[in-house]
C-alpha cells in the first residue's frame, strides 16, 4: 500500500512540474510580451524594456521558473491582470462556485447512470436496452452548448419556467436554486449519456461470463443474480471512468458556464486565456492538473478496493 | 447473445462465404450494415451531410457572407430564406451548408492524424514493454490528465487559430487515447503464437508491429475512430462557440451560435438551427460507431 | 416418487437461430436416465452434447430454443414449466458442474458465500447453519482446512481445488441429478484422476444420478454405468459401458476407438486409423445417416435416405445402435501392439542436446509481504535427440515443458547451461541473435490452432512468407513452393487464398506444419500440437507428423501432457516435474518398471477407455509446491507416495543410469523400485 501511494505521489509531483514548466515556457517565452501587455500597445519600446528589466523578466527562463516555484510554494501565485485581484483569491472564489455545480451534478449523474446502465446491460437487446442505448448515444452527441440552446428555448423562451442565466446573483426575481437547474440539467444529460454507455458495455460483458450462468443455474432469482453477482463485477472498469468525470465537471464545463454566464473555474480560465492573463493561466493550469492526477489516483484506489484479485 | 456452445456447433464447418467472389462479398458486407439499425441510420446521416457539404457551392441559395438587408426586419424563416437569416441578414441555410465543409475536412483529418500517431505510439509501447512502454504510457497519461478545453484555450489563444492549428491540437490531444487502446491490444496480441512464429522467421520488430499486429487491431480501432470523429465535431463547435475557432467571416457552426445566442429570447431560430445541424452530424457518427461495434466488424 | 426413469428426453428438438436462418442443432433425441445411474454422453465438438445439458436446465441463451419434444424430470415436463418453478428445481433438484472452474466462480465473492447461498435460498436456513453445511461439504470434497478455504477468493486456489468447490456447490442441496459438462477437461491428469475418484465416491454416498458429458472416452469409462455416443445432434449408439467398449457396433464409435492412442499402442505395430473427413456441424444435415459422408461402410440408398432406426444389438438387450448395417459388420477388435522386446538398432549421433540447462525468471510482480522470489522454471535439464527420432517431453502444468520449448526455439534464452544444435551453441542466443541458417534448422509448431495463424493473412501469404524468409536465396516461384507444401500436408492448393477463419482446427494445424516445413528444418519442436483438436482429427495430424518426419529425416521434439499420444509416437521420452527431468529413456523402458514414482503416478492416473483395465490407482496427496518455492531436495518429495524419509526433502536425488538410455532421478535404487512396482496398463510387460 505504501508503495502504491509513494509511486503515485511521485507521479503527481512529476506531472505538476512538467506541466507547469510547459505552461510557463509557453506564456513567458518572449520577455517583452508581458511588459507590453501591461503597458498597452501605445507604450514606447524603451518603456517596455525598462519595465521588463524592473520586473526581472530579462533573466534566463529557468531562473524565472525557479523563482515562480518558490513564490508559489509560499502561497503567492501572482496578481491577476484581468480581475485586478491576487490570483489566489480569484481561483478560490471561482473554484467554490464550480464546486457547487460539480457536486450537484455528480450526485445526479452517478445513481442515474448506474441504474440506466445496469438496466440496459442486464438484458442486452431487449426493448429497454435499445431505448436506453439510443437515447444515451443521442444525448451524448449533442454538444453542451447545443443542449443549452435546446433547453433554454423550451424552458426559458417558450415556457418561462426558468431563468436563462445563472450569475448567482439573487436579483431579477429568480432564486439561486432555480438558476442552477438548467446548467445542472445540461451537464447531467451530456455526461450521463457517456457514463451510461460505459456501464452498459461493462454490464453486457459481465452477463456473458460463466459465473453468471453458474449463479442462474443455482436457482437464484434474476434480481439476486444482478444485484449480488453482476453489478459489482460490472462496476470494476467504470469506477475509474466515473472518478475521471470529476475532472471534467470542474475544468471541462467551461461551455456550460459560458452559456449560462456562470462565474465558474472554466470560464475564469477562458477569460484568462483570451486576456492573456499569464499569472492566472499558470496557476489555473496547475490547479487543473492537480485535480486531474488526483482523480486518477482516486480511480485506481477505487479499483483496488473493489477487486480482490489485486488486493489479496 | 448465443452461448459459446452455439458458436461451436454452428461453425464446425467453414461457411459458404469463403467461396464467393469479391463483388458478392462486398454486397454481403453492405447487407450486414442493414442488419444493424443504428449502423444504417448513422451511415445515412453522415453520407447525407457529406453530399450536402460537397454540393454546397452548387445548392446553397445565397453566398454565405452576403447580407440581405431587406430581411433584417423579419429574419424568421420565410419563402425567400427557408431557415431565416441571422442578425446580419445572412441566409442561415446557406451558412449551415457552407459551414459543413470545414468541419467535414478538419474532423476526419484530425482523427487520421491521431490514429497514425496514436497507433505508432501504442504499438511501440505495447510491443517493447518495460521502460519504453512505461515512458510512453506516462507521457500519454500526462497529456490526457490535462483538461482539453484548457489546453486548447492556452494553445490557440497563444498561436492563433487556423485550420492547421486546430488539426494539430486535436491530433496531439486525441493521439494518447488511441495510443492507449492500441497499446492494450498490442499487449494482448503480442502473446499470440503467430507473433512467435514470425519471430522464429527472424522478422524485424517493425514488420511484426505493422504487418502482424496492427491489422488485427483493426476492429476496435475503427470503432474508436468513428467516435473520435464525432467528438472532434463537437470540439470544433465548442471552439467556435468560445470564440477561439476558425476566424470570421467563414461560417462556423459554433461561431454562429455564439453570435446569435444573445438574441434567443427574441429570435431563437438563429441559434437553434446551427445547433441542430451540429447535433445531427455527431449523432450520425456516434450511431455509426454503436452499429459497427454491434456488427463486430467481421471480415 | 414415480417409478419410471428420473429423467427422460423424448424426441427433443432444439433449434438455434443464426444468420443463415434456423438450424436444427438437435433434430430428434431420446434418452432416459434412472435414479442413481451414471450416464456418459460422449462426442466431439459440435455434436450437441452441451446443448442437451443446457436444454435440460433451459439455459440456451437468446439464440436457442426448444422447438419440440419433452423433457420429463421427476414426472414433470421441464419444457412447459414457468420460470419460478424452474428456479426451484435449478440448484436444488438438478445441479450443474462446468468445464472451466475458474471462470465459473464469481471472482469478487468469497468461496464460502457462494456456497452458502444455495441452502439459504433453497431451504431458507440461517447463515450460521448454511456456513456449517458449507464447511461440511468442503470436507466431503476433500479440501484441506475447510474453514480457511471458506474465506478465500477463487483466484487464490488451484484448478483442482476450484473444481472441487464447484462440485461442492452442486451437491450441497442434495440434488437428484448432477449434470457434469466436461468437468475435468483442462485439469492435469493426476488432478483429473483425483476428481473422477471423488465423483464416484460422492455418487455412492449421495445416490445422485449423473449425466457426465465429455469428449474423453477414458474418463467416461471410469465414472459411468452407461454411455451414449453422439454425432451431429443424434445418438448413434447407447448401452452399458462394458458392451460399448468391448463390442462397438456403430462405425463412428469404432472409428473413435480406432483412432485413440491408448497406452498400449505403438506407431510401428498398430498405426492410428483416422476417420476421414472432418467433424461436421448440424447445418448441412441432409436426410439419412449423419455419419454417411465419413463412413467406410456406407451404402448409397440404405444409409442416405429416410430416418435411421435404432436397433437392438443381438444378445445385448440394453445396447442400441442407430445403424442399418450394424448387424452386418464384423466384430471389432482392439488394436494393441504385441509385447515384443523392441530393438531399434543403435541410436545415431544426437543433433540436438540440452546440457545442464537452467532457466530462472526474475519476479515480475512483487508479493505483498516479503521479498519476491525468482521462479525456477528449469533446473539442470539434460536431454538429447538423434536424427530421425522423436523425443517426447511429457509432464503436467508447471513442469517446465513449455519453457523448454521456448528456450529451444530461442524465444527465451537460458540462464545457465546450454543447448547445442547441430554443433552450434544456441542456448544463449535468442531468436533475433541466431543466424538465418540456424533459424532454418529449428522450427516450431504451436498448440492453439486458433492463434497459430494470423487471422488477417491468407494461408498462401503465411506459407509464402516463411518460404521467402527461411530459404537461402528466394525461390523463383513462391506460388509453386506454397502449392507443394500444401500437398505435403494433404491440403488442396486452392486453400492458399483462404483466410484462417474459414478453416477447421485440423486444417489450421496442417497449415502451421506446412509453414514450419518451409525451410526444410532439421528439428521440429511441436508444443502440444494436437491437444486442442478433436480426437478424430488428432489421429490424422499425428500420422502426418510421423510421415513428414520419416520423409524429411527431421527430428521431432514432441511436447505433450497426453501419455497415450506420447506412447504412440515417441522413440524416447522424458518425464518432467517442476523443472527437472524425473525420468528419461526409450519409451518402452520408461513405460515399464522400474518407474520413477511420479511416472508411476502419472501412468496410473491416465483414464483408459477400457472398463476392464485393472489399474492400480495411485492418488497423489499433498500440495504442489509454488513455482517460487521449490523445495531443496527432490521436487516431488511433498507428494511422493514412495518417499523414504528426510533425505528426500533435503538432498537432490542422484541420477541413476539404469541402462544405456534410461535414467531415473530418485533416491530409491532402481532394483528396489523394480521389486516394489507392478506393471501398469500399457506397458509391454502387461501384455494383452
pLDDT single digits (tens) C550-590: 888 899 999 998 888 998 889 999 999 999 999 999 988 88
Task: Identify the pLDDT of residue B11.
Answer: 39
**pLDDT score at A103:** 92
The pLDDT of residue A211: 94
Closest Cα in chain C, distance from residue A196 (Å): 23
Mean pLDDT lowest among A275-284, C128-137, C503-512: A275-284
Instruction: Report the distance separating Cα A115 and Cα A118, nearest Å.
Output: 5
The whole-number average pLDDT for the span A242-271 is: 86
Pairwise CA distance, residues A272 & C669, whole Å: 87
> Rounded to an integer, what distance in angstroms lies between the CA atom of residue A276 and that of residue C377?
62
Instruction: Please determine, for residue A172, whether its predicted confidence score (pLDDT) is greater than 70.
Output: no
Q: Quick check: B149 and A266 CB within 8 A?
A: yes
Sorting pLDDT into bands at 50, 70 and 90, what band is C13? very high
Q: pLDDT at position C116, please?
A: 94
Region for A160 from its dihedrals, namely left if φ exceeds 0, alpha if ψ lies in -120 to 50, beta otherwise: left
pLDDT for A31? 56
Cβ–Cβ below 8 Å for B244 and A293: no
C431 vs B200: CB contact, 8 Å cut-off?
yes
A211 CA to chain C: closest CA distance, Å? 4
- Burial of residue C296 (CB within 10 Å: 0-12, 13-18, 19+) is exposed
Q: State the sign of the Cα–Cα–Cα–Cα dihedral C131, C132, C134, C139.
A: positive
Is A137 within 8 Å of B285 when comparing Cβ atoms?
A: no
Task: Tell me how crowded residue C686 is: count the other CB atoms within 10 A of its CB.
Answer: 18
pLDDT interval class at B276 (50, 70, 90): very high
Dig out the grid coordinates for C54 from the structure.
443446457
Strand partners, C441: none
Cβ atoms of C642 and C625 within 8 Å: the answer is no
Q: What is the pLDDT of residues A105-122, one digit of tens each?
A: 999 999 999 999 999 999
Write the ipTM.
0.83
CB contact under 8 Å between C106 and A218, yes or no, is no
Angstroms from A128 CA to nearest CA on chain C: 16
Residue A206 above 60 pLDDT? yes
pLDDT band of C178, cuts 50, 70, 90: very high
Using a CB-CB distance cutoff of 8 angstroms, which residues of chain B are in contact with residue A276? 157
Report CB contact under 8 Å: C95, A217: yes
DSSP secondary structure string for all residues of B104-164: HHHHHHHHHHHHHHHHHHHHHHHHH-HHHHHHHHHHHHHHHHS-HHHHHHHHHHHH---HH
CA distance C483 to C471: 16
Taking the Cβ of residue C123 and every Cβ of chain A, the question of whether any pair is shorter than 8 Å is answered with no
Cβ separation C278–B13 shorter than 8 A: yes
A281 three-state secondary structure: helix
Rg (CA), chain C: 26
What are the helix (H) ranges across C503-643?
505-517, 535-552, 563-569, 587-590, 597-605
CA distance B48 to chain C (A): 29
The yes-or-no verdict on residue C109 having pLDDT over 90 is: yes
Q: How far is C350 from chain B (nearest CA, A)?
A: 22
- What is each CA distance from C179 to C52, C100, C654, in whole angstroms? 10, 14, 47
Which of A85-89, B293-297, C544-548 is modeled with the greatest confidence? C544-548
Q: Which residues are within 8 A (CB) of B168 and not within 5 positions of it... i.e. 6 or more apart?
A: none
CA-CA-CA-CA dihedral for B196, B198, B202, B203, to nearest 10: -130
Mean pLDDT of C280-295: 76
**Residue of C87, C115, C166 to mutate when probing chain A, most A C-beta within 10 A:** C87
Mean pLDDT of all residues belonging to chain C = 85
pLDDT band with cut points at 50, 70 and 90 for residue C1: very low
B230 chain-A contacts, CB cut-off 8 A = 141
CB of C521 within 8 A of CB of C443?
yes
Secondary structure E strands in C2-45: 7-18, 21-33, 38-42
pLDDT on residue C210: 94
Q: What is the DSSP string of C139-195?
A: HHTT-SSHHHHTT--GGGS-HHHHHHHHHHHHHTT--SEEEEESTTTTS-HHHHHHH
Lowest mean pLDDT among A45-59, A298-312, C531-545, C557-571: A45-59
Q: β-strand C226-231 against C234-240: which pairing, if any?
A: antiparallel
pLDDT tens profile B131-189 = 888 888 878 877 777 767 777 777 776 777 778 888 888 898 889 989 988 988 898 89
pLDDT in tens, A53-76: 777 666 777 777 777 777 777 777
Chain A residues inside the 8 Å CB shell of C169: 214, 218
Q: Is the minimum CB–CB distance between A33 and chain B shorter than 8 Å?
A: no
Please say whether the beta carbons of C169 and C143 come within 8 A.
no
Alpha-carbon gap, residue C280 to C273, rounded angstroms:
18
**Got the DSSP string for B160-189?**
---HHHHHHHHHHHHHHHHHHHHHHHHHHH
Mean pLDDT of C172-186: 91
Rounded to whole angstroms, the Cα distance separating C188 from C609 reads: 18
Residue numbers of C between 52 and 71 with CB closer than 8 Å to B: 54, 59-64
Nine-digit cell at A217? Answer: 443455474
Q: Looking at beta carbons, which residues of chain A come within 8 Å of C105? A: 211, 214
Over residues A18-27, the mean pLDDT reads 75
- Give B2-41 pLDDT, tens digit per residue: 333 444 444 333 444 444 556 666 666 666 667 778 888 9
C173: cell is 442441496
Which of the pair, A268 or C610, is modelled with greater confidence?
Answer: A268
Q: How far apart are CA C548 and CA C560, in angstroms?
A: 19
C-beta of residue C637 within 8 angstroms of C-beta of residue C660: no
Condensed to tens digits (0 to 9), the pLDDT of residues C69-79 reads 999 999 899 99
- The answer to whether A213 contacts chain C (CB < 8 Å) is yes
What pLDDT, on a 0 to 100 scale, did the predictor assign at position C61? 82
Selecting from A143, A164, A251 the residue whose C-beta is nearest the C-beta of B150 gives A251
Of A152, A208, A281, the CB nearest to B154: A281
Q: How far apart are CA A258 and CA A268, in angstroms?
A: 10
pTM: 0.85
Enumerate the β-bridge partners of residue C580: C577
Please count the residue pairs, one from chain B and one from chain C, whose beta carbons lie less than 8 angstroms apart: 122
Is residue C153 within 8 angstroms of chain A, CB to CB? yes
Comparing A83 with A36, the larger pLDDT belongs to: A83
Q: In angstroms, rounded to a whole number, what is the distance separating the alpha carbons of residues C168 and C101?
A: 12
For residue range A76-100, list pLDDT tens digits in order.
777 777 778 888 888 888 999 899 8
Q: Do C90 and A216 touch (CB under 8 A)?
A: yes
Distance, CA of A241 to chain centre: 12
The predicted model gives C648-652 an average pLDDT of 86
More confident residue, C291 or B117: B117
Mutate to test the interface with C, among B130, B133, B201 (most CBs of C within 10 A): B201
Asked if residue A195 lies in contact with residue A109, where contact means CB atoms within 8 angstroms, the answer is yes
The Cα of B176 is separated from the nearest Cα of chain C by a number of Å equal to 26
- Rounded to 10 deg, the angle between the B92-128 and B37-59 helix axes is 130
pLDDT at C511: 94
Residue C433 or residue A216, greater confidence = A216
Nearest chain C Cα distance for residue A262, angstroms: 43
Strand ranges across the sheet with C7-18: C21-33, C7-18, C64-73, C76-77
Kindly report, residue by residue over B73-98, the tens digit of the pLDDT: 778 888 878 888 888 888 888 889 98
Q: Which of A280-289, B118-127, C587-596 has the highest mean pLDDT?
A: B118-127
Q: Would you give the DSSP letter of residue B279? A: H
Residue B287 above 70 pLDDT? yes
Contacts of C62 in chain A (CB under 8 A): 125
Cα C535 → chain centroid: 9
Q: What is the pLDDT of residue B118?
A: 93
CA distance B268 to B77: 11
Contact partners for chain B, using 3 or more CB pairs closer than 8 A, are A, C
Q: What is the rounded CA–CA span in Å between residue A310 and residue A303?
A: 9
Grid coordinates representing A14 are 512529476
Percentage of residues in chain C having pLDDT higher than 90: 31
A211 in reach of chain C (CB within 8 A): yes
The contacts of residue A13 (CB under 8 Å, 6+ apart) are none
Q: How deeply is C336 buried, as exposed, middle or buried, from its count of CB atoms within 10 A (0-12, 13-18, 19+)? A: middle
Q: What is the pLDDT of residue C687?
A: 35
For all residues of chain B together, what is the average pLDDT? Answer: 82
Q: What is the mean pLDDT of chain A?
A: 83
* Structural contact between residues B193 and C452, judged by C-beta atoms closer than 8 angstroms: yes
Q: Is C70 exposed, middle or buried (0-12, 13-18, 19+ CB in 10 A)?
A: middle
Chain B CB contacts of A149 under 8 Å are 257, 261, 264, 268, 271-272, 275
Contact yes or no for C97/C170 (Cβ under 8 A): yes
Q: Give yes or no for C155 touching A (CB within 8 A).
A: yes
Query: Do the strands C662-665 and C580-586 form a parallel or antiparallel pair, or are they unpaired?
Result: antiparallel
The pLDDT of residue B16 is 43
Report the distance separating Cα C503 and Cα C463, nearest Å.
15
Q: Which residue has the higher pLDDT, A17 or B216?
A: B216
Strand ranges (E), chain A:
79-80, 85-86
A 112-131 near B (Cβ less than 8 A) = 124-125
Comparing C684 with C166, the larger pLDDT belongs to C166
What's the distance, Cα to Cα, between the start and end of chain B in Å? 19
What is the model's pLDDT at position C189? 86
> Cβ of A255 under 8 Å from any chain B Cβ?
yes
Closest to B110 measured CA to CA, from B170, B150, B64: B170
Parallel, antiparallel, or unpaired: how do β-strands C94-97 and C177-181 relate?
Answer: parallel
- When CB atoms are compared, the residue of A221, A228, A236 closest to C87 is A221
Per-residue model confidence (pLDDT) at position C47:
86
pLDDT band at B121 (very low <50, low <70, confident <90, very high): very high
* Cell of residue C315, nine digits: 444378445
State what percent of residues in chain C have pLDDT above 70: 93
Contact C51 B9 (CB under 8 A): yes
Contacting residues for B203 by C-beta, under 8 A, at least 6 apart = B212, C469
Amino acid at each position: 500500500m505504501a508503495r502504491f501511494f509513494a509511486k503515485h505521489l511521485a507521479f503527481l509531483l512529476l506531472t505538476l512540474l512538467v506541466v507547469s514548466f510547459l505552461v510557463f515556457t509557453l506564456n513567458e517565452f518572449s520577455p517583452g510580451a508581458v511588459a507590453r501587455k501591461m503597458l498597452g500597445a501605445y507604450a514606447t519600446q524603451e518603456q517596455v524594456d525598462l519595465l521588463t528589466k524592473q520586473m526581472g523578466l530579462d533573466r534566463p527562463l529557468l531562473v524565472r521558473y525557479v523563482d515562480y516555484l518558490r513564490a508559489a510554494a509560499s502561497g503567492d501565485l501572482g496578481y491577476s491582470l484581468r480581475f485586478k485581484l491576487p490570483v489566489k483569491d480569484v481561483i478560490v472564489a471561482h473554484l467554490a462556485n464550480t464546486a457547487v455545480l460539480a457536486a450537484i451534478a455528480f450526485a445526479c449523474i452517478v445513481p442515474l447512470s448506474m441504474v440506466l446502465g445496469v438496466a440496459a446491460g442486464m438484458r442486452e437487446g431487449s426493448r429497454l436496452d435499445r431505448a436506453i442505448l439510443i437515447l444515451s448515444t443521442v444525448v451524448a452527441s449533442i454538444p453542451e452548448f447545443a443542449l443549452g440552446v435546446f433547453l433554454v428555448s423550451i424552458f426559458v423562451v417558450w415556457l418561462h419556467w426558468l431563468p436563462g442565466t445563472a450569475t448567482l446573483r439573487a436579483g431579477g426575481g429568480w432564486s439561486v436554486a432555480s438558476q442552477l437547474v438548467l446548467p445542472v440539467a445540461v451537464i447531467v444529460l451530456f455526461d450521463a449519456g457517456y457514463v451510461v454507455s460505459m456501464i452498459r458495455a461493462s454490464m453486457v460483458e459481465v452477463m456473458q461470463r460463466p459465473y453468471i450462468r453458474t449463479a442462474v443455474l443455482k436457482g437464484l432469482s434474476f434480481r439476486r443474480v444482478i444485484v449480488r453477482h453482476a453489478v459489482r463485477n460490472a462496476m470494476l472498469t467504470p469506477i475509474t471512468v466515473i472518478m475521471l468525470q470529476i475532472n471534467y465537471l470542474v475544468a471541462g464545463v467551461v461551455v456550460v458556464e459560458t452559456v449560462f454566464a456562470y462565474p465558474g473555474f472554466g470560464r475564469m480560465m477562458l477569460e484568462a486565456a483570451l486576456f492573456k492573463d499569464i499569472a492566472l493561466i499558470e496557476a489555473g493550469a496547475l490547479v487543473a492538473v492537480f485535480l486531474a492526477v488526483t482523480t486518477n489516483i482516486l480511480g485506481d484506489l477505487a479499483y483496488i478496493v473493489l477487486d480482490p484479485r489485486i488486493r489479496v | 447473445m448465443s452461448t459459446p456452445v452455439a458458436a461451436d456447433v454452428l461453425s464446425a464447418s467453414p461457411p459458404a462465404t469463403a467461396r464467393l467472389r469479391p463483388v458478392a462479398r462486398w454486397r454481403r458486407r453492405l447487407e450486414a450494415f442493414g442488419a444493424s439499425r443504428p449502423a444504417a441510420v448513422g451511415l445515412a446521416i453522415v453520407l447525407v451531410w457529406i453530399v450536402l457539404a460537397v454540393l454546397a457551392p452548387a445548392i446553397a441559395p445565397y453566398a454565405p457572407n452576403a447580407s440581405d438587408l431587406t430581411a433584417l426586419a423579419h429574419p424568421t424563416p420565410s419563402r425567400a430564406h427557408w431557415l431565416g437569416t441571422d442578425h446580419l441578414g445572412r441566409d442561415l441555410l446557406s451558412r449551415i451548408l457552407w459551414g459543413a465543409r470545414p468541419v467535414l475536412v478538419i474532423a476526419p483529418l484530425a482523427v487520421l492524424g491521431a490514429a497514425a500517431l496514436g497507433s505508432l505510439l501504442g504499438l511501440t509501447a505495447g510491443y517493447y514493454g518495460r521502460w519504453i512502454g512505461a515512458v510512453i504510457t506516462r507521457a500519454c497519461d500526462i497529456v490526457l490528465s490535462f483538461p482539453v478545453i484548457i489546453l486548447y484555450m492556452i494553445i490557440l489563444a497563444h498561436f492563433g487559430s487556423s485550420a492547421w492549428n486546430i488539426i494539430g491540437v486535436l491530433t496531439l490531444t486525441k493521439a494518447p487515447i488511441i495510443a492507449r487502446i492500441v497499446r492494450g491490444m498490442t499487449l494482448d496480441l503480442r502473446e499470440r503464437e503467430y507473433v512467435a512464429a514470425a519471430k522464429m522467421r527472424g522478422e524485424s520488430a517493425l514488420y511484426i508491429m505493422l504487418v502482424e499486429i496492427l491489422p488485427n487491431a483493426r476492429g476496435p480501432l475503427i470503432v474508436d475512430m468513428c467516435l473520435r470523429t464525432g467528438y472532434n465535431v463537437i470540439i470544433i463547435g465548442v471552439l467556435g462557440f468560445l470564440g477561439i475557432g476558425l476566424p470570421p467571416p467563414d461560417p462556423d457552426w459554433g461561431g454562429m451560435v455564439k453570435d446569435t445566442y444573445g438574441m434567443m429570447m427574441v429570435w431563437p431560430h438563429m441559434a437553434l438551427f446551427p445547433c441542430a445541424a451540429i447535433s445531427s452530424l455527431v449523432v450520425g457518427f456516434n450511431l455509426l460507431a454503436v452499429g459497427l461495434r454491434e456488427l463486430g466488424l467481421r471480415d | 416418487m414415480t417409478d419410471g426413469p428420473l429423467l427422460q428426453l423424448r424426441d427433443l428438438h432444439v433449434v438455434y437461430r443464426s444468420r443463415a436462418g434456423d438450424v436444427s442443432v438437435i433434430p430428434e433425441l431420446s434418452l432416459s436416465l434412472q435414479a442413481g445411474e451414471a450416464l456418459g454422453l460422449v462426442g466431439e465438438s459440435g455434436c450437441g452434447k452441451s446443448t442437451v445439458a443446457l436444454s435440460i436446465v433451459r439455459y440456451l441463451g437468446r439464440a436457442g430454443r426448444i422447438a419440440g419434444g419433452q423433457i420429463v424430470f421427476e414426472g414433470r415436463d421441464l419444457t412447459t414449466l414457468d420460470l419460478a418453478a424452474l428456479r426451484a428445481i435449478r440448484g436444488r433438484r438438478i445441479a450443474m458442474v462446468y468445464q472451466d472452474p475458474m471462470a465459473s466462480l464469481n471472482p469478487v465473492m468469497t468461496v464460502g458465500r457462494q456456497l452458502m447461498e444455495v441452502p439459504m435460498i433453497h431451504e431458507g436456513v440461517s447463515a450460521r447453519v448454511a456456513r456449517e453445511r458449507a464447511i461440511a461439504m468442503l470436507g466431503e470434497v476433500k479440501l484441506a482446512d475447510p474453514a480457511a478455504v471458506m474465506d478465500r477468493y477463487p483466484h487464490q486456489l488451484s484448478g483442482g481445488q476450484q473444481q472441487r468447490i464447484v462440485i461442492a456447490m452442486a451437491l450441497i442441496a442434495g440434488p437428484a441429478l448432477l449434470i457434469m459438462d466436461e468437468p475435468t477437461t483442462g485439469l492435469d491428469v493426476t488432478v483429473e484422476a483425483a476428481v473422477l475418484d471423488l465423483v464416484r465416491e460422492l455418487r455412492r454416498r449421495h445416490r445422485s444420478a449423473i449425466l457426465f458429458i465429455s469428449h474423453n472416452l477414458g474418463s467416461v469409462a471410469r465414472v459411468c454405468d452407461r454411455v451414449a455416443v453422439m454425432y451431429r445432434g443424434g445418438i448413434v449408439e447407447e448401452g452399458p459401458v462394458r458392451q460399448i467398449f468391448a463390442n462397438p457396433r456403430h462405425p463412428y464409435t469404432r472409428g473413435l476407438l480406432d483412432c485413440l492412442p491408448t497406452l498400449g499402442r505403438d506407431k510401428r505395430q498398430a498405426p492410428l486409423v483416422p476417420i476421414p473427413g472432418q467433424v461436421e456441424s448440424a447445418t448441412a444435415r441432409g436426410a439419412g445417416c449423419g455419419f454417411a459422408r465419413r463412413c467406410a461402410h456406407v451404402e448409397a440408398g440404405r444409409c442416405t435416405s429416410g430416418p435411421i432406426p435404432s436397433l437392438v444389438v443381438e444378445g445385448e438387450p440394453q445396447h442400441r445402435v442407430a445403424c442399418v448395417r450394424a448387424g452386418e459388420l464384423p466384430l471389432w477388435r482392439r488394436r494393441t501392439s504385441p509385447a515384443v522386446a523392441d530393438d531399434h538398432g543403435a541410436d545415431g549421433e544426437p543433433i540436438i542436446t540440452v546440457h545442464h540447462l537452467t532457466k530462472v525468471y526474475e519476479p515480475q510482480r512483487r508479493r505483498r509481504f516479503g521479498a519476491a522470489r525468482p521462479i525456477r522454471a528449469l533446473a539442470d535439464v539434460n536431454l538429447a535427440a538423434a536424427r530421425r527420432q522423436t523425443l517426447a517431453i511429457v509432464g503436467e502444468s508447471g513442469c517446465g515443458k513449455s519453457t523448454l520449448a521456448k528456450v529451444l526455439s530461442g524465444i527465451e534464452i537460458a540462464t545457465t547451461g546450454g543447448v547445442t544444435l547441430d554443433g552450434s551453441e544456441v542456448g544463449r542466443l535468442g531468436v533475433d541473435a541466431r543466424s538465418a541458417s540456424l533459424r532454418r534448422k529449428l522450427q516450431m509448431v504451436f498448440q492453439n490452432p486458433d492463434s497459430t495463424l494470423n487471422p488477417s493473412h491468407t494461408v498462401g501469404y503465411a506459407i509464402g512468407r516463411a518460404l521467402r524468409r527461411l530459404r537461402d536465396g528466394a525461390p523463383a516461384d513462391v506460388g509453386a513452393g506454397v502449392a507443394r507444401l500444401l500437398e505435403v500436408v494433404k491440403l488442396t492448393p486452392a486453400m492458399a487464398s483462404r483466410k484462417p477463419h474459414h478453416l477447421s482446427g485440423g486444417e489450421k494445424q496442417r497449415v502451421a506444419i506446412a509453414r514450419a516445413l518451409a525451410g526444410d528444418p532439421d528439428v521440429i519442436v511441436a508444443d502440444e500440437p494436437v491437444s486442442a483438436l478433436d480426437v478424430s482429427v488428432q489421429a490424422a495430424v499425428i500420422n502426418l507428423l510421423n510421415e513428414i518426419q520419416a520423409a524429411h529425416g527431421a527430428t521431432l521434439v514432441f511436447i505433450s501432457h497426453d501419455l497415450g499420444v506420447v506412447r504412440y509416437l515417441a522413440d524416447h521420452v522424458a518425464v518432467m516435474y517442476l523443472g527437472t527431468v524425473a525420468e528419461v529413456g526409450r519409451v518402452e523402458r520408461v513405460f515399464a518398471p522400474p518407474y520413477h514414482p511420479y511416472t508411476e503416478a502419472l501412468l496410473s492416473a491416465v483414464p483408459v477407455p477400457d472398463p476392464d483395465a485393472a489399474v492400480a490407482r495411485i492418488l497423489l496427496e499433498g500440495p504442489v509446491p509454488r513455482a517460487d518455492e521449490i523445495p531443496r531436495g527432490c521436487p516431488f518429495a511433498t507428494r511422493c507416495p514412495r518417499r523414504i524419509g528426510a533425505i528426500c526433502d533435503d538432498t537432490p536425488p542422484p541420477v541413476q543410469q539404469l541402462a544405456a538410455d534410461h535414467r531415473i532421478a530418485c533416491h530409491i535404487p532402481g532394483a528396489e523400485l523394480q521389486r516394489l512396482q507392478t506393471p501398469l496398463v500399457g506397458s509391454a510387460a502387461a501384455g494383452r
